[in-house]
Amino acid sequence: MYRILKKLNFSFSKRSRKSILLDRPDLQILRVNYLMRIAEYRRLKKKIYYLDETWLNAGHTCNYVWMDNDIKSSKQAFLRGLSSGLKNPQKGRRLIITHVGNEDGFVEGGEWIFEAKKTEGDYHGEMDAHNFEKWFERILDKIQPGSVVVMDNAPYHSRQLENVPNMSWRKDAIQAWLQSKNIAFETKEIKAQLLSKFDKEKYKTKYVDDYAASKGVTVLRLPPYHCELNPIELIWAQVKSFVGRKNKTFTMAEIKILLKEGLARIGAEEWAKCVSHVLKEEEQMKKLDGIMDVASDAGIQPFVINVTGDTSDSDHYDTE
């Protein structure tokens, strides 16, 4: 099989989450729509801001340390006056950090930092729409009208202005909702028929999108599973690296000081580099999606071969 594929000019490479051929069609559509929209906003010279959250535990440290490979035992290390190794610190209490910025740097005074109740697990559970929306409203006062804010689809970013009926609703509740919207229906119709009377997407307006629009700002949602299109992810990596290298006491008091210093070290130059990296990612995705479009137009079906070996997904990507 391998020889046949070599003759057909096929090559083997590590399977990746970012492989276009392996993408679900719905994700590809969302990605293409995003790439087209952000390209148009750039063409119109709109300022584009990027928003995201991250976390830091009091025990945050670097994953890599220098080692002396000549040391073979703890006794030898003791005789040389060296440590026999670092103990992994406990994770400790956790800070949640939210911020926004662009190639000009972080928005001044735009950070939102608070201590989480939990020390482990998914930090998203510590966030809620009410508090995020209060912060977002404050941030919009610092962003000029006509700008675009890019964010992901986290639940607390996406509270809808109103609940839209679905099959879990009682029939009389669906009818009452339709009446409130002046949508005609027959009382004998079943729930599925009632739900087909309106375009659900029309009524799925999100609060932050609506509030931003009232301030002349557009919210642009990242496609799911495409964090590499948000340059602030690279910014977070730099901040966390700084904190991890400098953290000595593994206390919350020190983490707060180091976080403040780490954020202050990130200026326009660092942001510009990260945005430039994302622009390259976008161009690469547009090329790959363009190739896929050509193949689809020609009636060619994607040809995917599963081989044994390392098929683990990875979120890592180079920043050079």
Nearest to 107 by CA among 157, 55, 143, 134: 143
Same domain assignment for residues 50 and 175: no
- Which pLDDT belongs to residue 275? 98
Sign of CA dihedral 157, 265, 57, 230: positive
pLDDT of residue 297 exceeding 80 = no
As a whole number, mean pLDDT of residues 225-242 equals: 95
Question: Do 290 and 266 sit in the same domain of this protein?
Answer: yes
Amino acid at 306: N
- Average pLDDT over every residue of 153-175: 94
Residue 90 lies in a domain: yes
Q: What is the pLDDT of residue 302?
A: 41
Q: Which residues are CB-neighbours of 91 under 8 A, at least 6 positions away?
A: 57, 58, 59, 60, 119, 120
Does the pLDDT value for residue 296 go beyond 70? no
Q: How many domains does the chain have?
A: 2
Same domain, 109 and 137: yes
Banded model confidence at residue 309, pLDDT cuts 50, 70, 90 = very low
Whether this prediction's pTM lies above 0.85 is answered by no
Average pLDDT (45-68) is: 82
Is 68 a member of any domain? no
Residues 169 and 285 in one domain: no
The SS3 of residue 171 is helix
Q: Please determine, for residue 165, whether its predicted confidence score (pLDDT) is greater than 90.
A: yes
| pLDDT score recorded for residue 120 | 62
Nearest to 279 by CA among 159, 150, 190, 183: 150
Lowest mean pLDDT across 29-38, 54-63, 267-276, 277-286: 54-63
Range of the domain at 198: 162-204
Instruction: Pick 309 or 42 by higher pLDDT.
Output: 42
Q: For 240-291, what is each residue's pLDDT tens digit?
A: 999 999 999 999 999 999 999 999 999 999 999 999 999 999 999 988 877 4
301 pLDDT higher than 70: no
Q: What is the pLDDT of residue 290?
A: 78
User: How far is residue 228 from each of residues 34, 81, 231, 319, measured CA to CA in Å?
Assistant: 13, 44, 7, 10
- Rg, C-alpha atoms of the chain: 25
Handedness of CA 95, 63, 233, 129 (dihedral sign): negative
Strands 105-106 vs 112-115: parallel, antiparallel or unpaired: unpaired
Same domain, 167 and 281: no
Do 262 and 128 fall into the same domain?
A: yes
DSSP sequence for 19-66: -GGGS-HHHHHHHHHHHHHHHHHHHTT--EEEEEEEEEETT---S---
Dihedral Cα 252, 254, 256, 262, nearest 10 deg: -140
- Classify the C-alpha dihedral 300-301-303-304 as positive or negative: positive
Q: Is residue 103 part of a domain?
A: yes
- Burial grade of 58 (CB within 10 A; 0-12, 13-18, 19 or more): buried
- Verify that 236 and 144 share a domain, yes or no: yes
- The answer to the question of residue 108 being in a domain is yes
What are the residues whose beta carbons fall under 8 Å from the beta carbon of 313, sequence distance 6 or more?
16, 17
**Over the chain, what is the mean pLDDT?**
81
Q: With a cut of 70, say whether residue 21 has pLDDT above it.
A: no
pLDDT, one tens digit per residue, over 88-123 is 566 789 999 999 999 999 999 999 999 987 666 555
For residue range 169-224, list pLDDT tens digits in order: 999 999 999 999 999 999 999 999 999 999 988 888 999 999 999 999 999 999 99
CATH code at position 246: 3.30.420.10
What SS3 state is found at 244? Answer: helix
HSE toward the beta carbon, residue 212, CA cutoff 13 A:
25
Pairing of strands 218-221, 148-151: parallel
Beta-carbon contacts of residue 97 (< 8 Å; ≥ 6 apart): 53, 54, 55, 56, 111, 112, 113, 259
Q: Give the percent of the chain with pLDDT over 90.
A: 62
pLDDT at 305: 33
- Chain-centre distance for alpha carbon 212: 20
Q: Report the helix count and the strand count for the chain, using DSSP H and E.
A: 10, 6
Q: At residue 79, does pLDDT exceed 80?
A: no
181/154 same-domain check: no
Q: Write the pLDDT tens digit of every residue in 140-150.
A: 999 999 999 99
